[in-house]
Amino acid sequence: MKKVIVLTGAGVSAESGISTFRDNGGLWEQYDVEQVCTPEGWTKDPSLVTQFYNLRRKQLLQVKPCQAHYLLAELEKDYHVAIITQNVDNLHEQAGSSNVIHLHGELMKVTSSLQPNNEKYIRTLDAENPEVKIGDLAEDGSQLRPFIVWFGEPVPQIEMAAEISSLADIYVIIGTSLNVYPAAGLTQFVPDGCPIYLIDPKPVKWNSNRPFTHIMKGASEGMKELMELLKSKKIAT
Alpha carbons 180 and 217: distance in angstroms, whole number: 20
The catalytic residues are 104
The CB density around residue 29, as the number of other CB atoms within 10 Å, is: 10
pLDDT digits (tens, 9 = 90+) for 66-97: 999 999 999 999 999 999 999 999 999 999 99
For the chain, the domains span 1-18+65-104+156-237, 19-62+108-148
Q: Please say if the pLDDT value at position 205 is more than 90.
A: no
pLDDT by residue (tens digit) across 127-162? 999 999 999 999 999 999 999 999 999 999 999 999
Answer yes or no: is pLDDT of 26 > 70.
no
Distance of CA 41 to the CA centre of its chain: 22
DSSP helix/strand/coil, 81: strand
| Residue 114, pLDDT score | 96
Number of C-beta neighbours around residue 212 at 10 A: 16
CATH of 19-62+108-148, one of 3.40.50.620, 3.40.920.10, 3.40.1190.20, 3.30.1600.10: 3.30.1600.10
For residue 174, CA distances in Å to 83, 90, 97, 177, 202 come to 11, 16, 15, 9, 12
b vs e for 88-109, b when ≥16 Cβ sit within 10 Å of the residue's Cβ?
bbbbbbbbebeebbbbbbbbbb
For residue 27, the model assigns a pLDDT of: 55
pTM comes to: 0.93
Evaluate if residue 109 carries a pLDDT over 90: yes
Residue 24, pLDDT > 60, answer no
- Kindly state the DSSP code that residue 8 receives in the 8-state scheme: E
Q: Which fold has domain 1-18+65-104+156-237?
A: Rossmann fold (3.40.50)
